[in-house]
Amino acid sequence: MSGRRAELRSFLRGCDVPVRVLDRDPTGASWLPEHLRPWALEDPGAQAEIRRFVEAERCLSELARPMEEAMFVTDVMARVEREGREDVRPCLRATVLFAAHLAAVVLGVYALGWAFPDAGRYVETAQTSIEDAAAWAAAAWFDVADGLVLAAAGLVAVLGAVALRYARRGRMPHTSGA
Amino acid sequence: MARSRAIATAGPGLRAGVRDVADMALVARAQQDADKEAFAELVRRHHGRIRNMLLRLCGGDAALADDLAQDVFLRAYRALPRFERRAEFGTWLYRIAYNVFLNHTTRTRRFDALGEHVERGRPAPASDEPDGGDVRRDVERAIAELPVHYRAVVVLYYLRDVSYPEMAEILGLPLGTIKTHLFRARARLREIMMAWDEKDGTADEVTP
């Protein structure tokens, strides 16, 4: 590639000429740098490159043409009607989810105790632990059965964290319009 | 549902009550009275630009762009009571649209570089007289090849109704960064297209 061609390309890469000017003068007679102009106006390769640049700029400016479709508005309004305002705020939803998960785990522990009486020793310990959180915290590290409860508590914590994360994602940012 | 359809497809007569009302007055009506007719008019006014922006950000995937655009308006409707009217409604919508797009990108890991449906590095064959359709396809592919943050700046810039400060607000970046990004993004866009031309060899063919 010749030095002038490289220079033309470098100029076109950073060129900021309004489309209306390019429309009026697609050859570059008025907007090319003076030292390149005589060569660029004569050279067919340079002109081809300039034409393609101008065409690309025109296309880019036409990308702004809005897409109109009546059905889109209908679809949006149908969704607004269907899903409308959020009944619960994200924070409240996260709290409800967390409480529901917690309740599910507690019920699960009791249900397991009922279904597997042989494991009564462990379940009994777990039940005691749930009823007496302080005692459980002290004993959990020393008892295998309490280890099960610890795992359950961990599960609840993880589910709670997931619920909070989803709630944060679902929250509408930038609502202040500032 | 039937009522919303009636509102959305309302003819000129029915729309007369909202057609000449300014955006902010419509927003106030939608906020205070939950006026769906006012909100439908806002959707009607802005959906073209929002869908266009998302279409370019999604690398030309029209179905996905429309899905995301619906999410944008639904989110806007839900957040409307908290919109403080300090910014233009259109700017606020662009901002929501960009966040919706980013969330989608994070969730799916798509569009980091290029949409799956876009043929990478396969420009339309160039010729002496560039055909509008070919160049348009090349431009769209080149935009899709840009990194997300450059793509967003270029798309907003060419939407033309967005000023630099508004771009900064929409993308959550300082004004100076926007200008730098824009300069680099446009240069990158042209580099991509020039590289295609060079690969194709047509630019040199016409040189005697």
A:101-160 residues touching chain B, CB 8 A cutoff = none
SS (H, E, C) chain A: CCHHHHHHHHHHHHCCCCHHHHHHCCCCCCCCCCCCHHHHHHCHHHHHHHHHHHHHHHHHHHCCCCCCCHHHHHHHHHHHHHHCCCCCCHHHHHHHHHHHHHHHHHHHHHHHHHHCHHHHHHHHHHHHHHHCHHHHHHHCCCCHHHHHHHHHHHHHHHHHHHHHHHHHHHCCCCCCCC
Topology of the domain comprising B1-88 = Rna Polymerase Sigma Factor; Chain: A (1.10.1740)
pLDDT at residue A121, rounded to an integer: 66
Q: Do A178 and B84 touch (CB under 8 A)?
A: yes
pLDDT in tens, A8-35: 888 988 888 888 899 899 988 999 999 9
The pLDDT, as a whole number, for residue B121 is 46
The pLDDT of residue A120 is 61
* Fold of the domain spanning B123-208: Arc Repressor Mutant, subunit A (1.10.10)
Domain edges within chain B: 1-88, 123-208
Mean pLDDT value of segment A89-114: 84
Q: Model confidence over B35-76: pLDDT tens digits? A: 888 999 999 999 998 998 998 898 888 899 999 999 999 999
Q: Is the dihedral angle over the CA atoms B187, A62, B171, B103 positive or is it negative?
A: negative
Residues of A in contact with B9 (CB under 8 A): 70, 73-74
Q: How confident is the model at residue B111 (pLDDT cuts 50, 70, 90)?
A: low
Q: Do A72 and B66 touch (CB under 8 A)?
A: yes
In this complex, do B39 and A80 lie within 8 Å of one another by their Cβ atoms?
A: yes
Contact B77 A84 (CB under 8 A): yes
Q: Hey, is the C-beta of A84 within 8 angstroms of any chain B C-beta? A: yes
Residues in chain B closer than 8 A to A47 (CB atoms): 206
Give the tokens for residue B37.
């007719």
List the single range of B4-13, B101-110, B172-181, B192-201 with lowest mean pLDDT.
B4-13
Using CB atoms, pick whichever of B77, B83, B103 lies closest to residue A169: B103
Q: Is the CB of residue B152 less than 8 Å from the CB of residue B98?
A: yes
Contacts of B95 (CB under 8 A, 6+ apart): A174, B87, B169, B170, B172
Non-local CB neighbours of A157 within 8 Å, separated by 6+ positions: none
Please answer yes or no on whether B158 and A70 come within 8 Å at the CB atom: no
* Contact between chains at A85 and B78 (C-beta distance less than 8 A): yes
Mean pLDDT of A46-70: 83
| CB within 8 Å: A65 and B77 | no
B87 interaction partners in chain A (CB closer than 8 Å): 177-178
Q: Which residue of A has its CA nearest to B46?
A: A66
Q: Which residues of A touch B66 (CB under 8 A)?
A: 72
Q: pLDDT over 90 for what percent of chain B?
A: 33
